[in-house]
Structure formats: structure tokens, C-alpha cells
Amino acid sequence: MAKPDKPNMPVLKLHIPEPAVRPGDEADFSNIVVPDVDQIARPDEATKPEDLRELAFGLVRVLDDDGKATGSWNPGLTPDQLREMLRHMMMLRAFDDRMFRAQRQGKTSFYMKSTGEEATSVATTMALSRDDMCFPSYRQQGILVTRGYPLVEMMNQIYSNRGDHLLGRQLPIMYSAPDYGFFSISGNLTTQYPQAVGWAMASASKGDSRIAAVWCGEGSTAEGDFHSAMTFAAVYNAPVIMQVVNNQWAISSFSGFAGGERTTFAARAVGYGVAGLRVDGNDPLAVYAAMRWAADRARTNNGPTLIEYFTYRAEGHSTSDDPEAYRAAEEYAKWPMGDPVERLKAHLIGLGEWDDERHIAQAEELLAQVKAEQKKAEEKGVLGHGLHQPFETMFTDVFEDLPWHLKEQSEQMVTEQRSKFGPDWEPK
């Protein structure tokens, strides 16, 4: 392919991003700069995007290296609120561990944990109003946990069992919970982004007071949907908070393959004229503060915000993934932002509002609660063991009404099952 016809010209080179370390190497995060708390002070929520640009390149922090909450971003939560936040995050972790184990036990086909990223779904949800609308990606089960959605309902969905509100149609963890302001999860990436903007535009057009929040990973910001959403949000000044959970890894691809070598993900906001914040995603108080700032901004018609949470995916992408094949072991142990549960725990202990015994007791209590809910869910079946949804549900909801061809196919299915299970078989 070399072209020696212009030997005096520089040779072009194709750059292929490469992470600093790979399996077998020592985990190394020395390139990550963690600025001091309040390196950039909290601006007024009504500040214009062009006066906020440096926030997209900074890092909002509240908890300092000693676990103390300081600076202008400190949301000033009460000890009760802090304990509630800790409890939700611990519940999420217990839930993830048990469901991951259930998949390994063959009770379902698939699971995705949110370990290390709990603050980005729990603290954010606490900063929203209960009736604000959430458009999650596949790793925000913390929204449901925080809003008190019954764990057994989540498990029923994961098991695709007889109790599954989604009728066994969806891959595990693709929940939908309208009563909890939780939009139906797609398996396709970032499709929820323009949808959240559309919901927010509708809310604004109706003179409502509710706002929308949407999540995606840093890898998915490469999808066109992300950029369409940013354009629409800016054009219509939509009351929406667009969040990028930068957990460093998109399956095996490090954030450099989404453009992370060049700039921050929060900086995507700058080109669109949208407010952008870059936040320590493992500092639950910083996450809360950023979301609260953006929510207040949206609620007062000051426009959309893009927030990047700088965090780390502590586990594999899913139960189908093996991160040891592409990244250094022990990365999470060395992650400079620490662990969100441990940081909040240390903060509460520092305040004299928590201690190790209570922490251990709470972990045990939550695990027992998850196990009890799991038992209830398993009474309604696990994947592949009979207690699935009625067969006829395969054909309902394609449309509101069943057209002739689906009626015919539904009858075909009944005939097929009867040929296997006998003439008395009923589609239940």
C-alpha cells in the first residue's frame, strides 16, 4: 500500500487507540488527574452554557480524600438521607450478587451487575422528584431499587417466570415500570436518548413540571442517537438531563474507542451549547449534587445538561463476558476514585452516624431480604422450568388488536402444542 511516488511527503499513519495496560500488566491509573474538591465552584443553575465550559473538563467532587464532605457542591444531606442512600446502594449490590449467582446456577439466561457504579443510579434518583421520568440503559437497576419497586417483580422479570409483568418476552434485566417513572429498556444502545428528549419536550409543551433523565454508557455516545438527542435537546431547550456513565469499558473496548483519548465525554456538551458537568461517579454526594443542580436547572427552564460520571465497571459487561481476557486484573482495587459504597460508609462513620457493626448487620439484613424475595420469585418459576407465561401471550401486544394472520398463527401454535402434549393441552 506504500506510495513512494511522493517520497518527500510525510507518511500518513492510522491511529488505533490502545489502553495503557492489558492482561498480565500491572493496573496503572497514574494518568488520571483527580483535582481538589471545589477546583471549580458550583455556579448558579441559571448560568449560560458558554460560561460553564470549564466544568466539562473538571471533576465535581464533594468527598475529599479523608471522606469529609466539603466545598460549594456539598448538598448538605441529613444523616438520615445519607443512611438511606447507603442502604439503597448496599441493597443494589446484594441484589446484583444474588442474581448473578442465579444465572450461574442456570436459573436464567443472562444478568448484568452494576458493581462500582451504584452511585450513578441511586444518588441520581434520590436527587430527582419521584414523578420525574427515567430513561435508563441496561445498568440502572438502582433506579428501581431506590424508588422502591418490589424486588420480587425484578426477579420475576429476570426469571421470565409466571409472575413476570413483561410476560417472558424480554431478555433478563430489560425492565419496564411506568408507575415508577421507569421507561421500557431496549436491548439496542442509546435509542432511549432522543426518546427522553421527546418526553421532556412533551412535558414542556404541556406546561407540566416533570423533567426527564436519561442514561447511557460512554461507549454508546458513539451512536448517532446520542448526537440527535443532543441537537434536539439544545434546539428546544428541553428539560432533560442526559447522563453518560463513563465506566471506562464497553465490553472489551476501552473508552478510547469512544473518543476518550481526545477529550472528556462531558465536553460533548460544549459543541451543542448545552451545559456539561464532569463528576466523580464514585462520590455519591458529588453525583447527587450534580444531578440536583441539573434538575433544578431543567425545572426552571434553564435548559438541558449533559453529565459525565467518571467511574469504573468493576465486573464484566454481563454474564456472557470475561474481562480477564482484555484488561489488567485488580484494576478496580486500584481505581483512584475508590468504591462508592465504601466511600459513603467512611463518610458516615466520620460523621459519627454509622459504624462497622451496623454496616455488617445491614449487609446481612439486606441479603436475607433479597433471599426471601428470591424464594418468592422462584415459586413462580425460573427460566426453562415450566412455569412460564401463557403461550397465547406470544401473540398479544404485537398490535392492540389481533389481526387475522396472527390469529391464524396463534391457532397454529395451539395445534402444535397439542400434537406434542395431547389434545387436552390449553394455552396457559
Partner 1 sequence: MMADTQTKEATKNMNMIEAINSALDIMLERDQSTVILGEDVGYFGGVFRATAGLQEKHGKTRVFDTPISECGIIGVGVGMSAYGLRPVPEIQFADYIYPGLDQLVSEAARIRYRSAGDYICPMTVRSPFGGGIFGGQTHSQSPESMFTHICGIKTVIPSTPYDAKGLLIASIEDNDPVVFFEPKRIYNGPFSGYYDRPVEPWSKHDGSDVPEEYYRIDLGKANVVREGEALTILAYGTMVHVAKAVVAEVGIDAEIIDLRTLLPLDIDTIEESVKKTGRCMVIHEATRTSGFGAEIAALVQERCFYHLEAPVERVTGFDTPYPHSLEWAYFPGPIRIGMALKKIMEQ
Q: Which residues of 312-339 are buried (b: 16+ CB within 10 A; e: fewer)?
A: bbbbbbbbebebeeebbeebbeebebbb
- Residue 255: CB atoms within 10 A of its CB come to 22
Residues 251, 360, 361, 368: which binds partner 1 (CB under 8 A)?
Answer: 251
* CB of 161 closer than 8 Å to CB of 383: yes
In sequence order, the 6+-apart residues with CB closer than 8 A to the CB of 333 are 27
Pairing of strands 249-250, 253-254: antiparallel
Closest CB to partner 1 among residues 26, 324: 324
- Contact between 219 and partner 1 by CB under 8 A: the answer reads yes
Nearest approach, Cβ of 420 to partner 1 (angstroms)?
6
Q: What residues between 18 and 47 interact with partner 1 by CB under 8 A?
A: 18, 22
- x/- contact string, 263-282, with partner 1 (CB under 8 A)? --------------------
Interacting span for partner 1 (CB under 8 A) from 37-45, 81-89, 353-361, 389-397: 389-397
CA 308 to chain centroid: 12
The pattern of x and - marking residues 221 through 240 that bind partner 1 according to CB under 8 A reads: -xxxx---------------
Strands (E), 136-252: 212-217, 240-246, 249-250
- Note whether 415 binds partner 1 by CB under 8 A: yes
Inter-residue contact 301 to 237 (CB < 8 Å)? yes
Which of these segments, 31-39, 167-175, 290-298, 365-373, binds partner 1 (CB under 8 A)?
A: 167-175
Contact between 354 and partner 1 per CB under 8 A: no
- 413 binds partner 1 per the rule CB under 8 A: yes
Residue 168 near partner 1 by CB under 8 A: yes
CB of 392 to partner 1, least distance (A): 10
**Of positions 150, 259, 273, 350, contacts partner 1 by CB under 8 A:** 259
Dihedral (Cα; 337, 341, 346, 352), 10-degree rounding: 150
**378 sits near partner 1 (criterion: CB under 8 A):** no
Tell me if 213 contacts partner 1 by CB under 8 A.
Answer: no
**Contacts with partner 1, 183-212, as mask; x by CB under 8 A:** ---xxxx-----------------------
- Cβ(319)–Cβ(112) below 8 Å: yes
Dihedral of the alpha carbons of 279, 280, 281, 285, in degrees to the nearest 10: -90
Sign of CA dihedral 42, 43, 46, 52: negative
Q: Which three cell numbers stand for residue 137?
A: 440503559
Binding interface with partner 1 (CB under 8 A): 1, 14, 16-18, 22, 109-110, 160-161, 164, 168-172, 174, 186-189, 219-220, 222-225, 250-253, 257-259, 320-321, 325-326, 383-384, 388-389, 391, 393-395, 398, 405-406, 409, 412-413, 415-417, 419-420
